[in-house]
């Protein structure tokens, strides 16, 4: 008898476009939520969109509250949980980059409240995902949470954000190439569960972005549109898989390790982009397609070297040789690569 079952959790409303911040209230009213909103944001996103969202939410008839977070940490999540416990809001609205959104997402999951995602930067694919990522001691990777009930991505706001945030989002998508290959490898070698649909969607999303790489330009709202649609698609792939596997392989392990060794030095997307160049080389060798990954990143202006990341050579090599320890996820790194192999990969690809 066939006994498999699966739950695919997706947002109900994904609203993308020029000026859609003003439709936040409308997007939420369709969800039939009750109670007042609690806006969770960080300092710059608060100025860029947070206050505007708060004012807009006032139109729903309840008085919105706001909490401003400074950094992604469990202490900050606890603080937001405490605020939510005191104020008893009906739902949480995360306004900002990946960190503010992840904190709101995880606090909402803890309080069993609905969560709305309002990204102010097209910098990562957590804007739609059902996963939250916050450093926890020696580990650093996403854990299960609930996906947003609605996503409101205003392309006018996203296009005005610093261009490097958008190139980080592009790199997070391009890294899906190597993530899917690692996932297939884990399926063949370790019998890890693989979803054809999630794998195909994730890979196609990366391919479409690379095909459009030439047309992605700083200040062009159309570019923000292309990138955010790709980020949504990648988040949906993670929801279908109920795992970050479609979007996170060895290149993400490398980035998570850099977060531990050199916190705050570079953006998540930029780190995974460089990690993807290294991973593509390890997966396919010198004659493989690591150059295509590197060239796609270079075309959009994302870093392809340690120098461009602002991270020193030793740290890059340490991250690469210890990345396999970060979580129990089989990738091309296997049980780890040694210093010489890491040095060879990093020099052949020009990362060092
Ligand atoms: N939950 C998930 O599935 C995923 C989570 N992530 C997490 O997301 C985080 C990375 O997100 P990022 O957005 O790269 O970093 P971030 O949230 O630290 O934002 C980077 C900077 O951009 C600023 N910023 C945001 N919007 C702006 C705007 N419109 N104008 C000017 N400045 C603006 C922020 O204030 C911050 O200083 C990492 O913690 C990563 O682990 C990344 C991918 C997936
Ligand atoms: O960043 C992610 C996907 O782009 C999430 O992946 P992790 O589960 O490795 O944190
Ligand atoms: Zn990522």
- Is the ipTM higher than 0.85? The answer is yes
The residue whose CB lies within 8 Å of the most ligand 2 atoms, and thus the one to mutate among 136, 247, 267, is 247
Please give the pLDDT value at position 218.
92
* Fold for the domain defined by 163-348: Dehydroquinate synthase-like, alpha domain (1.20.1090)
Contact, 241 vs 195, CB < 8 A?
Answer: yes
33-90 confidence digits (pLDDT tens):
999 999 999 999 999 999 999 999 998 999 999 999 998 888 999 999 999 999 999 9
What DSSP string describes 32-88?
A: T--S-EEEEE-HHHIIIIIHHHHHHHGGGSS--EEEE--S-SHHHHHHHHHHHHHH-
Give the nearest ligand 1 atom to 169 CA.
14
222-281 confidence digits (pLDDT tens):
999 999 999 999 999 999 999 999 999 999 999 999 999 999 889 999 999 999 999 999
Alpha helices (runs of H) in 242-326, residue ranges in sequence order: 250-261, 268-284, 290-300, 306-309, 313-322
Query: What percent of the chain shows pLDDT beyond 90?
Result: 89
Distance 98 CA to ligand 3 centre (A): 10
Q: Whose CA is nearest to atom 2 of ligand 2?
A: 248
Q: How far apart are CA 214 and CA 191, in angstroms?
A: 38
Any atom of ligand 2 within 6 Å of the Cβ of 271? no
Distance 10 CA to ligand 1 centre (A): 21
Q: Whose CA is nearest to atom 19 of ligand 1?
A: 97
| pLDDT bucket at 336, cuts 50 / 70 / 90 | very high
Beta bridge partner(s), residue 39: 66, 93
Contact, 89 vs 112, CB < 8 A?
Answer: no
Distance 190 CA to ligand 1 centre (A): 33
Is pLDDT larger for residue 206 or for residue 138? 206
3-state secondary structure (DSSP) of residue 244: coil
Distance 168 CA to ligand 3 centre (A): 9
Q: Whose CA is nearest to atom 8 of ligand 2?
A: 142
* Fold for the domain defined by 13-132+139-159: Rossmann fold (3.40.50)
Distance 233 CA to ligand 3 centre (A): 13
114-159 confidence digits (pLDDT tens):
999 999 999 999 999 999 988 777 677 788 899 999 999 999 999 9
Ligand with an atom nearest the CA of residue 44: 1
Distance 83 CA to ligand 2 centre (A): 27
349: pLDDT strictly greater than 90: yes
Ligand with an atom nearest the CA of residue 265: 1
> What is the CB < 6 Å shell around ligand 1?
42, 44-45, 48, 72, 96-100, 102, 120-121, 123-126, 129, 131-133, 142, 157, 161-162, 165, 168, 267-269
Any atom of ligand 2 within 6 Å of the Cβ of 141? yes
Contact, 268 vs 102, CB < 8 A?
Answer: no
Q: How far apart are CA 302 and CA 65, in angstroms?
A: 37
Please give the pLDDT value at position 312.
97
Any atom of ligand 2 within 6 Å of the Cβ of 133? yes
Q: Where are the domains of the chain?
A: 13-132+139-159, 163-348
């Amino acid at each position: 008898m066939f006994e498999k079952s699966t739950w695919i959790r997706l947002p109900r409303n994904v609203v993308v476009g020029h000026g859609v911040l003003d439709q936040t209230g409308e997007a939420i009213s369709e969800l039939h939520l009750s109670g007042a909103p609690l806006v969770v944001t960080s300092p710059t996103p608060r100025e860029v969109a947070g206050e505007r969202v708060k004012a807009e939410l006032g139109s729903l008839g309840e008085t919105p509250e706001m909490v401003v977070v400074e950094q992604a940490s469990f202490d900050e999540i606890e603080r937001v949980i405490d605020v939510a416990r005191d104020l008893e809001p009906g739902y949480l609205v995360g306004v900002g980059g990946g960190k503010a959104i992840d904190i709101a997402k995880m606090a909402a999951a803890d309080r069993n409240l609905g969560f709305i995602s309002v990204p102010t930067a097209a910098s990562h694919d957590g804007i739609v995902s059902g996963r939250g990522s916050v450093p926890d001691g020696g580990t650093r990777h996403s854990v299960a949470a609930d996906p947003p009930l609605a996503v409101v991505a205003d392309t006018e706001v996203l296009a005005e954000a610093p261009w490097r945030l958008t190139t980080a989002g592009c790199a997070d998508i391009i890294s899906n190439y190597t993530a899917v290959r690692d996932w297939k490898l884990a399926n063949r070698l370790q019998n890890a569960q693989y979803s054809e649909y999630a794998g195909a969607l994730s890979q196609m999303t990366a391919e479409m972005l690379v095909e459009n790489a030439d047309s992605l330009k700083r200040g062009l709202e159309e570019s923000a549109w292309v990138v955010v649609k790709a980020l949504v698609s990648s988040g949906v792939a993670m929801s279908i898989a109920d795992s970050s596997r479609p979007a996170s392989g060895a290149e993400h392990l490398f980035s998570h390790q850099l977060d531990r060794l050199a916190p705050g030095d570079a953006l998540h997307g930029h780190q995974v982009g460089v990690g993807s160049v290294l991973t593509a080389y390890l997966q396919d060798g010198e004659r493989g397609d690591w150059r295509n990954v590197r060239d796609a990143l270079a075309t959009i202006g994302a870093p392809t070297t340690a120098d461009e990341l602002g991270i020193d050579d030793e740290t890059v090599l340490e991250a690469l040789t210890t990345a396999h320890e970060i979580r129990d996820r089989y990738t091309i790194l296997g049980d780890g690569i040694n210093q010489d192999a890491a040095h060879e990969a990093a020099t052949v690809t020009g990362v060092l």
